[in-house]
Amino acid sequence: MEKMTLRDIDVQGKRVFVRVDFNVPFNEEGEVADDTRIRAALPTIGYLIDRGARVILASHLGRPKGKPDPRFSLRPVAGRLSALLGREVGFAGDCVGPAAQDSVRAMSDGDVTVLENLRFHPEEEVNDPEFAGAMASLADVYVNDAFGTAHRAHASTAGIPAHIPAVAGFLLEKELTSLGMLVSEPAPPFVAIVGGAKISDKIGVLERLMARADCLIIGGGMANTFLAAQGKDMAQSLVETDRLDVARGLLEKVAREKMDLLLPVDLVAAPSRDQADRREIVDTDSVPEGWMALDIGPRSVELFGKRIREAKTVFWNGPMGLFEVSGFDAGTQGVAEATAESDGVTIIGGGDTVRAINQAGLADRVTHLSTGGGASLKMVEGKKLPGVEALNSR
């Protein structure tokens, strides 16, 4: 690690501002539905508590569009954290101003307080210097433990470190170490699996992985665009028609440079996403008129699984189909099982992919679950992450 971490600083009695990623889903009763991201921050929070720091936690939640919205309040998150820690956790009604200042002023060594949603202020996402300075004034030290937002130059990720000493938390350190291996020296054979709906936001990482991986597997909705670029009629399947030229260019590069690229060889199609009971397994050039491809088929699962099981390094970002709907989840389940059965290093990136591996009950059988989808892709692509670059170097 080139950047300083919590182990490099003394936090006893200090006010420590920790940027966490508590952007968690809620159920209909307004309670936290999945606390995975909260639990991921516990090692850093526990370390600070044990050393007598005054722990100030800050996060965004949802998209409140720069103004207070009770639907996106972090108060329920503070309640769940309190239960997980087995101790009282304070809550400040704002992340700057008197409410935040009074809450921090009332803290004692070892106390924990959660600030209200950062994105209740439009200044957060534009990295306003005054807003960053106001947050920095609450603390003596800054810790970034939110890898999921490290690729964004926001006030809470890139702005605060300009004012006070800034280091990486344990979760961020783990992410950088695990994903850094993919960028530097992945053990061969390195198999990369990229799925999800669209190629438009993954062009850079696809190009990088084509050059880096021993085998690149493409599934999910984005595979439809590649199949259409090969001239196949995808009927009503999701196809990015404005990216067909990009897909053709990538396919030509694969052919020219003799890269190992695998696309689905069969698909699960249905008249609509709501008609799983009518689904059929079809060849990639035989999607019925008016139907859509919503998953990869069993032959594709077998083809992909064989390469995954043989790999020494696996990186997977993006599901193979509409995995959240029963009947269109077999492809993603199959890839999850193959990944779990690999003897190599297995790294899962992206919220949907993490949910899929959890849904399959196989999360404990992979090496690393990345908490950041966009951030993990940017890092694998070789891009600098503003939230990491802003931290103090060793």
79 counts as catalytic: no
Torsion of CA 8, 13, 14, 17, to 10 degrees: 90
115 neighbors 94 (Cβ within 8 angstroms)? yes
Out of 249, 327, 351, 383, pick the active-site residue: 351
Out of 37, 119, 202, 208, pick the active-site residue: 37
37 counts as catalytic: yes
65 counts as catalytic: no
Out of 198, 212, 248, 365, pick the active-site residue: 198
Looking at the DSSP assignment, which residues form a beta bridge with residue 57?
A: 18, 114
Of 353, 260, 266, 354, whose CA–CA distance to 307 is shortest? Answer: 260
146 neighbors 19 (Cβ within 8 angstroms)? yes
Out of 174, 374, 378, 387, pick the active-site residue: 374
- Give the separation between CA 101 and CA 87, rounded to whole angstroms: 22
- Give the separation between CA 220 and CA 218, rounded to whole angstroms: 7
54 counts as catalytic: no
Tokens representing 47? 């370390």
Tokens representing 205? 């990482």
Burial 268-277 (b: 16+ CB within 10 A, else e): bbbeeeeebe
- Give the separation between CA 330 and CA 265, rounded to whole angstroms: 15
Residues tagged active-site = 37, 198, 351, 374
